[in-house]
Amino acid sequence: MVVRQYNEELQYLEKISPTCWKIKKGFQPNMNVEGVFYVNERLEKLMFDELRNACRPGMVGGFLPGVKQIANVAALPGIVGRSVGLPDVHSGYGFAIGNMAAFDMNDPKSVVSPGGVGFDINCGVRLLRTNLYEKDVLPVKEQLSQSLFDHIPVGVGSKGIIPMNAKDMEEALEMGMDWSLREGYVWAEDKEHCEEYGRMLNADPTKVSMRAKKRGLPQLGTLGAGNHYAEIQVVDEIYDKWAASKMGIEQTGQVCVMIHSGSRGFGHQVATDALVAMEKAMKRDNIETNDRQLACARINSVEGQDYLKGMAAAANFAWVNRSSMTFLTRQAFAKQFKTTPDDLDMHVIYDVSHNIAKVEEHIVDGKQKTLLVHRKGSTRAFPPHHPLIPVDYQLTGQPVLIGGTMGTCSYVLTGTEQGMRETFGSTCHGAGRALSRAKSRRNLDYKDVLDALEKMGISIRVASPKLVMEEAPESYKNVTDVVNTCHAAGISKKAIKLRPIAVIKG
């Protein structure tokens, strides 16, 4: 990392619009393109504090600031356009979290980087609607939360309850949600409302190590820990009545369920294996990066292709995982209300992937190009009429699901043309951390956090209560600031606001 005084660092940053800053070349070595990040005034302060902190003399250990990471990504071979930081950007490993970057598939030097996808491959958010209203759920809220907690395995070391053997696992990795459909866990129309229809066709389970499969098998159908959760939410505000009605949301008070989870240990191992393999490939192909965690390989190399096939298998794992939890959620609701999931109209509104790399067509400098788009902590947000979005959303634009933090609201946005042009059809993914986990632990007490949730009328069931301060709203950026910045910058548009009434987490 280039070490300069904070004031010197600022010379490389320039505000180009009320919600957008440019990172000039030279901020980090070998930048091929410029960087850019979207912030409002409050988020801007957090970004610059992070940078100032890292410039303190004698700073060792700890995280690289997000701005530096965006610039490191801009130095990767084959990157086109700009390295983009979304409003929830914060320090990650290699790529910042809330960072997207696109690489030209037709440039032989272009790379794929597992760090640009993250360890939790195809971590994402799914939103189910119901035809229930808040008044129907409030009297049985505690029972329903407990039932969901009993149905969905959560927390570190928990094991899935969907019966699976090694052969089922191979099929699930290859087929994604088609496997869930064949086994009767999901409805045919659920697939329609997922990115890629819940199945990446280039998945190849033979490119995945035994270790990954061994880690994955017991964990299929588990929520996980950390920031993953299942929430019962109610519609709090509708900004775009027409778009909301296309999603089956009629009025405020309607009850939805949000599931935030990923590919569990399977994806983590696929990423770990790829990073190790790519380190060797980098030496062979003389690829240099500014950060060891940014290990990458040429897209057309054996390592690059193997990673993309393994990543696709992990993406399928994640869809099957969220589908299994969709099944368990539907069961819990049906039992509580003594009816069927069909009669409760528990359709999937949409399912987004916010840690993934995909091959997409975009216009760069007036020309159509095939790009490998990495989104790490960033959600695809395609505009109306895009061929890859479901027919139900052709006129509204793709629904974008933004999960808030425990106890704060979540949002549904829609994709825009401007986002397509400026950020390769990408937007934010959540609140984004403001305090490190260690700082949250020092500054907050878990009992206060639980009490505060109770006062807000939110039921909580959590496997590790002593860690809730790490996920407390105070530890995160304000999701409303993040979403408003995306809306103001025009890279996506607000449709619905949801507020939680019950949280289930690891």
Partner 1 sequence: MFGYITELEYVEIKESHEIEAEGTDMLSLLYHFLDEFLYLFCADPYFIPKKVQITEFDRANYKIKAKGMGETFTIGKHPQGADVKAITYSNMQVHEHEGKCEVFVIIDI
Establish whether 7 is an annotated binding residue: no
Q: Where are the beta strands (DSSP E) in 122-251?
A: 124-133, 229-238
**Residue 164 vs 348, nearer CB to partner 1:** 164
**Residue 194 vs 406, nearer CB to partner 1:** 406
In this structure, what DSSP letter does residue 433 have? B
CB of 416 to partner 1, least distance (A): 32
Residue 442, C-beta contacts closer than 8 angstroms, at least 6 positions apart = none
Chain residues that interact with partner 1, rule: CB under 8 A: 60-64, 92-94, 119-120, 155-158, 211, 214-215, 218, 224-226, 265, 268-269, 271-272, 275, 279, 291-293, 295, 437, 463-464, 466-467, 506
Establish whether 227 is an annotated binding residue: yes
Residue 260 CB neighbour total at 10 angstroms: 26
Q: Where are the beta strands (DSSP E) in 274-354?
A: 297-298, 348-353
Determine the Cα–Cα distance for residues 134 and 234; give it in Å rounded to an integer.
7
Active-site residue, 386 included: no
Half-sphere exposure of 360 (CA within 13 A, CB side): 26
**Residue 151 vs 268, nearer CB to partner 1:** 268
**Residue 108 vs 157, nearer CB to partner 1:** 157
CA-to-CA separations, 184 to 187, 190, 323, 324, 502, in angstroms, rounded: 8, 12, 10, 10, 27
CB of 93 to partner 1, least distance (A): 4
CB of 314 to partner 1, least distance (A): 12
Residue 279, C-beta contacts closer than 8 angstroms, at least 6 positions apart = 292, 295
Quick check: 186 and 324 in contact, CB under 8 A? no
**Residue 61 vs 387, nearer CB to partner 1:** 61
CB of 171 to partner 1, least distance (A): 20
Establish whether 134 is an annotated binding residue: no
Quick check: 318 and 125 in contact, CB under 8 A? no
Determine the Cα–Cα distance for residues 272 and 212; give it in Å rounded to an integer.
9
Quick check: 339 and 140 in contact, CB under 8 A? no
CB of 63 to partner 1, least distance (A): 7
CB of 349 to partner 1, least distance (A): 27
Q: Between 302-337 and 264-285, two packed helices, what is the crossing angle to 10 degrees?
A: 170
Establish whether 193 is an annotated binding residue: no
In this structure, what DSSP letter does residue 123 have? -
| Phi and psi torsions of 461, nearest 5° | -125, 120
CB of 387 to partner 1, least distance (A): 34
Q: Which of 362, 386, 429, 487 is catalytic?
A: 429
Half-sphere exposure of 4 (CA within 13 A, CB side): 14
**Residue 67 vs 489, nearer CB to partner 1:** 67
Establish whether 432 is an annotated binding residue: yes
Establish whether 40 is an annotated binding residue: no
Quick check: 238 and 129 in contact, CB under 8 A? no
Establish whether 406 is an annotated binding residue: yes
Closest CA to 426 of 474, 355, 351: 355
Q: Where are the beta strands (DSSP E) in 271-323?
A: 297-298
**Residue 199 vs 228, nearer CB to partner 1:** 228
Determine the Cα–Cα distance for residues 479 and 490; give it in Å rounded to an integer.
17
Establish whether 303 is an annotated binding residue: no
In the block, tokens 């209300």 appear at 337
- Record the tokens describing residue 377, joined without a space: 């902590």
Establish whether 118 is an annotated binding residue: no
Residues annotated in a binding site for GMP: 227-231, 354-355, 403-406, 410, 429-432, 505
Positions marked active-site: 429
Annotated binding site for Mn(2+): 120, 123, 228, 260, 354
